[in-house]
Amino acid sequence: MMRYTNQDAEIYGLDITADRDLVTNAWGYWGVSGSLSYTNGKNKDTGSHLYNIMPLNGSIALNHENNGWINQVEAVAVSAKSKVSTPRHEIETSGYGLLNLSTGYKWNTVSVEAGIDNVLDKNYALPLGGAYMGQGKTMSINGELDGNSNWGTAVAGAGRSFYMGVNYKF
């Protein structure tokens, strides 16, 4: 039975972001940007890992701008989530990598952007997505839940996604 009580916990982490200009030439401005994030924590009373903590993750992007055009190629990586909260039956997830592409054009007050996230249509589970309980024993072929867990299946991340947006500044 879960109940709310104060407990001692320790949490620590590191967030790093960086941007670097690479070159400006006849083809425009080129730059790179990236981020890296790590967080960990433990319940000092029970020794269990803390709930809903994102595993090591990062991204790196190549950015290009030329005469109003803005383009980006981004790689995102997330390591496996193996440090889970056992009292809350948190589900472990595998690591994954994604490729995202975007392009756009800016005028004085209007900009248009379009992109594709998860270009390679990678199948992955969200480390902080929780559990999908709808895939119960009556919904499975052999009467077992994915991963032989009585606590559900990890929620899947978005597949290949296309988007487009228009912004107007006034």
Tens of pLDDT, residues 78-93: 999 999 988 888 999 9
Place of tokens 């967080």: 39
3-state DSSP call for residue 119?
A: coil
Number of CB atoms found within 10 A of residue 124's CB: 19
Mean pLDDT by 10 residues, the chain (170 residues): 81 97 95 97 91 96 97 98 89 96 96 98 94 65 53 89 96
Residue 49's domain comprises 9-129+159-168
Domains in the chain: how many in total?
Answer: 1
Residue 81 lies in a domain: yes
**3 state SS of 148:** helix
Is 15 a member of any domain? yes
CB-CB neighbours of 18 under 10 Å: 10
Residue 35 lies in a domain: yes
pTM over 0.75: yes
Q: How many residues does the chain have?
A: 170
